[in-house]
Amino acid sequence: MTRAFMLEQLTLIELDPLAFIDVAERSGYDGIGLHMEGLSFPRSARYSLIEDQALRTAFGQRLTASGLKLHVIEPFVVTPETDRDALRRNLDIAVILGAAVAGTLSFDPDASRGADSMAMLSADAAERGLALSIEPYYHSCLPTLSAAQTAARAAGASAGVTLDVLHVVRGDEHWSTMPDFDPALVRSVQLSDGPLDAPESRVAEAIADRSEPGDGAFDLASLVPLLPDHLPIGIEVPQANALLPPLERAIQLREKAVRLFT
C-alpha cells in the first residue's frame, strides 16, 4: 500500500481554504487536514466554513475537482459549556465536506464531565461515519498521549488519538519508550520536528516555529515502523518566519516527509 501524505492547514495558516487546496494539489499531496474556521492567530486567514455557505459550497466543489481527500477536520472542542447541538451541526458539515476524522481537544477540568462529553461526541461522530481523534496538548486537560489514549478507550470504539509529535514530546513522552503506546488507536498523525529542550514559549513554538521533518531531534525514524501503512501522514509545520513561498514550502515539506518513510 502506498503511504498517503496530507498537508495540514496550520502549516499554511495564512491561506484561505480555496488557496490551500490549490497549493496542496499542486505540491503533490494526497489530501489535507482542515480547520472549519480561521484561527485567532495574527497570521491566520479569516473565514468560516460553518457560517459561510457559499464558501462551503465552493470549497466542496474545489476539493472534489482536485481529487484530494479530506482526512481530519477540526477542532471539535470539549469545554464545561459544551454545546452538543453545535457540535452535531459541525459534524454534519464535516460529513458534507467528506471528512474521515473529527479532531478534538478537551478543555474541561472536570474529568467526569469531560469524559461524558467526549463519549457523546464520539457517539455522534460514529453515527455519521466519522472517527474521533483526541489530540494531546500540554495546555489542555489531556496533556499527554497516555492521557489521550485513556480518554479514547473510554469514549467508544470510533475514538482514537491524534499523534502530533510536537505535543507528544512536549508532554514529556515518546512513542519509542511508552510501554502502553498503541498504534491501533492512532487516527491521525501530525508530523513536525524540533529540539528536545522546549523553548520559553511553547505556544509560540506550536503555532509558529516548528522544525521540518528530519531537521530536529525528535527521532522520527523510530516512529515510522510503528505506524500502520494505511494511516495517512499529516505534515504540520507552521513557521512564521519561513523564507519560501507557500507552494515551495509545501513541496519541500512533502519531500522531507517522504524521505523518512522510504
* pLDDT at residue 190 tops 70: yes
The pLDDT assigned to 238 comes to: 96
Domain ranges of the chain: 5-260
More confident residue, 40 or 19: 19
CA distances to 134, 208, 256 from 118, rounded to whole Å, are: 9, 28, 35
33-52: average pLDDT = 94
pTM of the model: 0.96
What whole-number distance in Å separates Cα of residue 35 and Cα of residue 2? Answer: 26
The pLDDT assigned to 1 comes to: 58
67-90: average pLDDT = 96
Q: Where are the alpha helices (DSSP H) in 67-223?
A: 84-97, 111-127, 145-155, 165-170, 202-208
* pLDDT at residue 59 tops 80: yes
18-27: average pLDDT = 98
* pLDDT at residue 253 tops 90: yes
Contacts of 40 (CB under 8 A, 6+ apart): none
Provide the grid cell at 213: 521533518
Q: In the chain, what percentage of residues exceed pLDDT 70?
A: 100
Rounded to the nearest integer, the mean pLDDT of the chain is 96
* pLDDT at residue 123 tops 90: yes
Under DSSP, the state recorded for 1 is -
The pLDDT assigned to 153 comes to: 98
- pLDDT band at 42; cut points 50, 70, 90: confident
CATH no. for 5-260: 3.20.20.150
* pLDDT at residue 126 tops 70: yes
